[in-house]
Amino acid sequence: MGDLKIGSLFSGIGGLELGLEWAGVGRVVWQVECDPFCRKVLAKHWPGVKQYEDVQKVGAELERVDVVCGGFPCQDLSGAHTAGKRRGLDGAKSGLWSEYLRIVESCRPTWIVVENVMPCRDWLPFVRRDLHEIGYSSVPVLLRACDVAAPHERPRCFVLAHADGKGEPLRAEHAKVAGLRALSKPGRHWGAPPPRGFRMDDGVPRGMDRLRCLGNAVVPQCAEVIGRIIVAAHG
C-alpha cells in the first residue's frame, strides 16, 4: 500500500498522521493547525508539506486526499478542561466538528479518522450520525495508550469511517482489533514510567516542550493501530 494521500485537520504536533505513516498508509500532503508553535513542530518533521492556519477558512483549495484525519478540540467534551460543565458539540471549541464535517463533505476522502476523548457519549453518536448522513459508514475503536504497551492509560476513542454504505470492511477489521493488547512493534521503546500524577504523551520526540504540546498530541502508536486497519481493509 503506502500510496494514499493524507490530509490532517487540527493537527497539533502530528501524532495522528505520524502513526498512520508508520502503519504504511501513505504520505501527508497538508496539515491544518492554528497554533504557531505546533506549526513549527510540524514544519520540522514534515518539511515541504502544505500548512494552513484556520480550519474555518479552508475548503476548495485543499488538495484532494484519500484519508482525512484529525482530533477536533475536546475542551467542551472533557471534564479535565471544563470542570464538569460540558457543552458537547454545542460548545465554541468542540463545535468546530462542524468545520471538520464541512471539509470532509467538500473533499470526499475514502477514509476518515476522527479522534477524541473518553467518555465519548457527548460526541460519538452525533459524529457517527453526521458521517452516516453524508454517506460514510463508521466503527468506533477504543484504545488506551497502555494497549500499545505505554506506562499510562490515556483512553481515547477513534472513529474510522469509510465511503461505503455497507461498511463490511470496517466491521471485519474492527472485530480483529477488539480486545487486542500490547500492540507496539518490537523495537519501539517507551521511556521509564513517570512520577505518579505526571501527565505525558509518550511516542513523541523527547526534545519537544512536552508541557506545551501535551494537549495537542495523539499517541502515535495508537494511531498506528488505526492505520493498520486501513491498510488491511483497503487491500
**69 part of the active site:** no
Residue 157, φ and ψ in degrees, nearest 5: -110, 130
Q: What is the DSSP string of 164-216?
A: -SS-HHHHHHHHHHTT----PPTT-PPPPPPPTT----TTS-TTS-HHHHGGG
- Given 69, 74, 120, 222, the catalytic residue: 74
For the chain, the maximum distance between any two Cα atoms, rounded to a whole number of angstroms, is 47
DSSP string across 213-232: HGGG---HHHHHHHHHHHHH
**DSSP letter assigned to residue 63:** P
Burial class (CB in 10 A: 0-12, 13-18, 19+), 155: middle
CA distances from residue 88 to 12, 46, 116, 117 in whole angstroms, order as listed: 21, 32, 12, 11
Which amino acid is residue 95, in one-letter code?
A: G
Within 13 A of 108's CA, how many CA atoms are on the CB side?
Answer: 3
Active-site positions?
A: 74
